């Protein structure tokens, strides 16, 4: 089934449809998707790296699956994510600000969350608005919560969303990898390093 | 069991919100001697809460969470009511059930945990209000006791439906006039502690939460008895200060007044013979542990 629906940066208004319901399908192993179109994983690596380098506030949102060292794989991914963040910081211009903001849990928090220190899946737009984040990557977030967040972000912000998914990928992200491993995250960091200086930083 | 299971990845530690850093560094998970006296000196397993200022339920929550013998191996089951506003802020696994079916959920959960973790003790603790326990969920409450399910049921008894504006509940006292029950209750407060005893609960206590050491004692007893023998039930008076026309600072006095001899929350306890035996055994072990610790301390001095 081919789809004419493209998963693009929003705001797509109050209730963006689930991309799956619009015919967007998930990539197979070795593939990724960009805006709903299936591409080779390497192509997606390059596009994701360019997105990060072209953003004013490129941000990584690690979730509970990588924040807690609950097994060896998770600990390795955490190391790789930190490496990607440090690489981003190194590779962006002084006018850009790379951020690493955790999604430590999924519980509704009252009276409010602190958008400077965390992102919450029930209102991810607050953190994105507050920090003026224009490109973000989800990693280590459970599928359902990631889908929910990605849809809310697409509905209410102009932020470009990337999913580094450990399972089959996310239709609701603008760009999604699948089968994420520590190596794959390191490869993305390599791409960022390789493209350093070749992407024009954003203008005010 | 210890904090080993809740280790933050070292590369992520500095970006975690401070309450999580505190939770892994200063909470009392894995501490066998944990109790209410840790409050104020360690990280509590409750973050901020969204209850009213001065609400006795918030005191009860703090004492209970400080008294769980093994919070890292405990799952709490909540139900609709004021308590469900607190559970999202609690550092213990918890499940929100449909209004009233908390004891049915806890039954399945306890059985599943026993199969899934045969070598580890897992405690299940139901914590619900009087509406969920005695009115809407009475069937599930009683059936769990009849079946001798091994978990603890705690009822926060505020004697009405508080967060919906003050409707009459089965545990409301006779004659009480509430905002949404203007005629006054026409029948007696349901005697659930006695029903619990007759339904097969091995440890039943009816009291207020005015004394933290007492709350700690009954919580620990109830959980230990539920682990080894069968169902236990605690009915704790946590008055809704708003619905009974009190001010924020008057909750404690209200509980003290209600626990006087002959009042409806004077301390009442029922312990089955089996439970008595177990608690005596546990008390002896505790005494031994304290003596050994004292001896060790003296040796160090």
Band (pLDDT 50/70/90 cuts) for residue A194 is very high
> Are B9 and A75 a contacting pair at CB < 8 A?
yes
Minimum CA–CA partner of B95 in chain A: A107
> Are B17 and A82 a contacting pair at CB < 8 A?
no
Over residues B253-296, the pLDDT tens digits come to 999 999 999 999 999 999 999 999 999 999 999 999 999 989 98
Over residues A111-156, the pLDDT tens digits come to 778 999 999 999 999 999 999 999 999 999 999 999 999 999 999 9
Domain range enclosing B211: 32-275
Put simply, whether B95 touches A (Cβ < 8 Å) is no
Contacts of B89 in chain A (CB under 8 A): 107, 109
For chain A, the average pLDDT equals: 94
> Are B12 and A118 a contacting pair at CB < 8 A?
no
Closest-CA distance of chain A to residue B39, Å? 22
Over residues A11-60, the pLDDT tens digits come to 998 889 999 999 999 999 999 999 999 999 999 999 999 999 999 999 99
Put simply, whether A71 touches B (Cβ < 8 Å) is no
Enter the ipTM. 0.94
Domains held by chain B: number: 1
The answer to whether the CB of B191 falls within 8 A of the CB of B201 is no
The answer to whether the CB of B208 falls within 8 A of the CB of B177 is no
Closest-CA distance of chain A to residue B255, Å? 28
The answer to whether the CB of A188 falls within 8 A of the CB of A91 is no
Minimum CA–CA partner of B6 in chain A: A68
> Are A66 and B88 a contacting pair at CB < 8 A?
no
Put simply, whether A119 touches B (Cβ < 8 Å) is no
Residue from the list A70, A75, A110 with its beta carbon closest to the beta carbon of B50: A110
Contacts of A70 in chain B (CB under 8 A): 5, 7
Which CATH number does the domain housing residue B147 bear? 3.40.50.970
A-interface mutation test, from B6, B8, B9, most A Cβ less than 10 A away? B9
> Are A78 and B16 a contacting pair at CB < 8 A?
no
Confidence at residue B1, expressed as pLDDT on a 0 to 100 scale = 43
Put simply, whether B10 touches A (Cβ < 8 Å) is yes
What pTM, to 2 d.p., does this model score? 0.89
Domain ranges of chain A: 32-194
Reply yes or no on whether the pLDDT at A2 is more than 60: no
* Total Cβ atoms within 10 A of residue A151: 23
Mean pLDDT of A160-184: 97
What would the two tokens of residue A169 be?
A: 């990928």
> Are B12 and A74 a contacting pair at CB < 8 A?
no
Let me know if residue B7 belongs to a domain. Answer: no
Residue from the list A66, A109, A118 with its beta carbon closest to the beta carbon of B9: A66
Let me know if residue B44 belongs to a domain. Answer: yes
Question: Class of A32-194 per CATH?
Answer: alpha beta
How would DSSP label each residue in chain B? Answer: --GGGGPBPGGGGGGS-HHHHHHHHHB-TT-TT--GGGBTTBB-SB----SPTT-HHHHHHHHHHHH-S-GGGEEEEE-SSTHHHHGGGBSSEEEEPSTT-HHHHHHHHHHHHHHH-TTS--EEEEEEEHIIIIIITHHHHHHHHHTT-SSEEEEEE-SEETTTT-EE-TTSPTT--BTTBTT---SPPP-HHHHHHHTT-SEEEEEESS-HHHHHHHHHHHHHHHHHT--EEEEEE---TTTTT--GGGHHHHHHHHTSTTSTTS-EEEE-HHHHHHHHHHHHHHHHHHHHHHHHHHHH-
Cα dist from B24 to B6, B30, B74, B253, B271, whole Å: 7, 11, 17, 36, 36
Confidence at residue B2, expressed as pLDDT on a 0 to 100 scale = 54
Residue from the list A102, A107, A118 with its beta carbon closest to the beta carbon of B12: A102
B-interface mutation test, from A65, A82, A140, most B Cβ less than 10 A away? A82
Which residues of chain B fall short of a pLDDT of 70?
1-3, 5
Minimum CA–CA partner of A72 in chain B: B9
Closest-CA distance of chain A to residue B246, Å? 24
Over residues B120-156, the pLDDT tens digits come to 999 999 999 999 999 999 999 999 999 999 999 999 9
Let me know if residue B22 belongs to a domain. Answer: no
Let me know if residue B15 belongs to a domain. Answer: no
Contacts of B15 in chain A (CB under 8 A): 62, 100-102, 117
């Amino acid at each position: 089934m081919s789809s004419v629906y493209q998963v693009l940066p929003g705001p797509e208004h109050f209730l963006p449809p689930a991309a799956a319901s619009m015919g967007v399908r998930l990539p197979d192993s070795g593939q990724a998707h960009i805006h709903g179109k299936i591409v080779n994983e390497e192509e997606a690596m390059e596009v994701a790296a360019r997105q990060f380098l072209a953003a004013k506030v490129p941000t990584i949102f690690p979730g509970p699956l990588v924040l807690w060292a609950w097994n060896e794989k998770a600990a390795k991914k955490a190391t790789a994510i930190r490496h990607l963040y440090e690489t981003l910081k190194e590779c962006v211009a002084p006018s850009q600000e790379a951020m690493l903001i955790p999604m430590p849990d999924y519980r509704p928090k009252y009276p409010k969350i602190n958008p400077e220190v965390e992102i919450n899946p029930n209102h991810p737009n607050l953190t994105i608005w507050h920090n003026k984040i224009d490109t973000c990557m989800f990693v280590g977030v459970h599928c359902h919560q990631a889908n929910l967040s990605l849809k809310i972000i697409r509905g209410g912000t102009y932020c470009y969303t990337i999913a580094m998914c450990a399972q089959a990928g996310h239709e609701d992200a603008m760009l999604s990898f699948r089968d994420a491993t520590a190596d794959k995250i390191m490869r993305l960091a390599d791409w960022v390093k390789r493209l350093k200086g070749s992407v024009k930083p954003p203008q005010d | 069991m210890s904090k080993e299971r809740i280790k933050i990845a070292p590369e992520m530690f500095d970006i975690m919100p401070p309450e999580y850093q505190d939770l892994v560094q200063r909470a009392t998970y894995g501490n066998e001697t944990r109790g209410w006296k840790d409050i104020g000196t360690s990280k509590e397993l409750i973050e901020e809460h969204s209850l009213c200022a001065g609400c006795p339920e918030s005191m009860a929550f703090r004492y209970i969470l400080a008294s769980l013998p093994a919070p890292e191996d405990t799952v709490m089951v909540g139900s609709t009511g004021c308590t469900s506003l607190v559970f999202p802020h609690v550092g213990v696994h918890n499940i929100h059930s449909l209004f009233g079916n908390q004891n049915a959920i806890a039954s399945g959960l306890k059985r599943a945990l026993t199969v899934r973790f045969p070598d580890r003790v897992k405690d299940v603790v139901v914590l619900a209000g009087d509406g969920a326990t005695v009115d809407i969920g009475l069937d599930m409450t009683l059936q769990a006791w009849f079946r001798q399910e091994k978990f603890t049921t705690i009822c926060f008894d505020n004697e009405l439906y508080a967060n919906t504006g003050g409707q009459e509940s089965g545990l409301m006292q006779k004659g009480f006039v509430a905002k949404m029950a203007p005629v006054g209750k026409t029948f007696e407060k349901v005697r659930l502690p006695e029903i619990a005893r007759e339904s097969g609960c091995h440890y039943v206590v009816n009291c207020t939460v005015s004394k933290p050491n007492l709350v700690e004692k009954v919580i620990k007893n109830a959980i230990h008895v539920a682990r080894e023998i069968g169902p236990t039930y605690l009915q704790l008076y946590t008055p809704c200060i708003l619905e009974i026309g009190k001010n924020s600072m008057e909750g404690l006095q209200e509980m003290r007044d209600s626990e006087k001899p002959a009042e409806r929350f004077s301390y009442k306890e029922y312990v089955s013979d089996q439970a008595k035996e177990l608690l005596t055994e546990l008390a002896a072990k505790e005494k031994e542990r304290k003596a050994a610790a004292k001896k060790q301390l003296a040796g160090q001095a």
